[in-house]
Structure 1
């Protein structure tokens, strides 16, 4: 099924040249019809597909989709709108990015497919490091899986510059102990947005990332 027309990409390409409230107001109906409404339908269908494998995923599209309006309070760039549309499909949704899930970003440049956890609390991070320390081989087996590496490459994230004494031995065995975030990224060409195979292709990514997401979820508890 095709969820988006070419105008989804065209809208953001034009917005990039007219990133101000007057232009957006004049094209609000177009935004609703070409971007917002089809994206909500698409995310709803993605949730339904994921629920076939994860019945505990109980969330509505509106709780996954991020606003197109930028937070410009602390930014030098005062243009008011994001040039992409994004959603975080997880049990925590967009309000809790510590919960591992699937983060999708659609833009004129690419389709971003991300997994893992971003805003991890101090307690969650301690639990996660402890789990990796106790089972470094199990963690390595997941992130070195052939399909995972082919699609996502490696685990990314900000890391400690100085390793605390209690983690130095563990760090020598597994350097990712130093990470403060654990996420991974893949990119697809923009033409995937209008493809009839959009959801089947994204579900392949979901199934590949899910063993790592499950590990992170259980480890942080």
Structure 2
């Protein structure tokens, strides 16, 4: 489970996002990170039951993303992320493709997500082709009442302003073909993220994302 102390550390970091404060509180950070790693280990086991493509033997340390921000080309020069990110890849330790992601951030900013964010060009072309051929299969997933209740309108994600090359504006599935990403995400309250059964609950929610990831993986196969 995620400890309340880990959320408190992130709250304090958000209010004191500078190297001096972080150095003085390095012990708190290491304790919070260790807590997140332990939680990730538990989550990997639960998620393997949902999606066998997730290797439950993955090193959880490799799933927890760095807290240090790359500020070289950014206007925002704050040095640290104010959340813990956990990536659960379905290609061994390789990131990218159809996977799952958990963000732990206090004040109601935690969320679970799955799918494929901003696919590379070759993958995007393959996904669009799969949608063009088998849109019915995708719509059965994303239009299911339980999916909509948890993740909202899948089509409301960022779309191209123009029609993608090779397709017609009259295509009945143009709203899906114009998508730039294929993501389902759901916010998690602070109260729920610190529950003892949080990993199991998150895995249960990911059962609804699993068919989406299968669809996307099949498109790129």
- TM-score norm. by structure 1 comes to 0.90
Is the Cα–Cα contact under 8 Å of residues 113 and 183 in structure 2 kept in the other structure?
yes
What stretches of structure 1 move > 6 A for 4+ residues in a row? none
Give 3-state SS (helix, strand or coil) of 1:113's partner: strand
- CA–CA distance in structure 2, aligned partners of residues 189 and 164 of structure 1: 37
Q: CA RMSD in A?
A: 1.9
Residue equivalent to 1:25 = 23
5+ residue gaps, structure 1, are none
Describe the SS at the equivalent of 1:88: strand
Residues 162 and 207 of structure 1, relative CA distance in 2, 3 Å threshold: same
Asked whether the equivalents of residues 152 and 186 of structure 1 are also in contact (C-alpha less than 8 Å), the reply is yes
Find out whether 1:199 has 2:199 as its counterpart: yes
Using the alignment, how far apart are the partners of 2:35 and 2:190 within structure 1? 16
Deviations 1:140-160 (A, max 9, x none): 111001111111112254322
Who is 2:46 aligned against?
49
Alpha-carbon displacement from aligned partner over 1:85-108 (angstroms, at most 9, x marks no partner): 1111122478523x2122111111
1:169, CA displacement in angstroms? 5.3
**Partners of 2:44 and 2:165 in 1: CA distance:** 43
Question: Which residue of the partner structure matches residue 184 of structure 1?
Answer: 184
Contact 1:88–1:94, Cα closer than 8 Å, also in 2: no
1:135 corresponds to 2:134: yes
- 2:89–2:100 Cα contact (<8 Å) kept: yes
Change (3 A) 1:206 1:69: same
Q: Which residue of 1 aligns with 2:60?
A: 61
Residues 70 and 137 (structure 1), Cα distance of their counterparts in 2 relative to 1, 3 Å cut: same
Contact 1:114 1:183 in 2 (8 A): yes
Unmatched runs of 5 consecutive residues or more in structure 2: none
Distance 1:207 1:38, change over 3 A: same
Is 1:214 aligned to residue 211 of structure 2?
no
Tell me the TM-score normalised to structure 2 length.
Answer: 0.90
Deviations 1:160-200 (A, max 9, x none): 22214521157443411011211121112112222112112
8 Å CA contact 2:88–2:99 kept in 1: the answer is yes
Structure 1 SS opposite 2:122:
helix
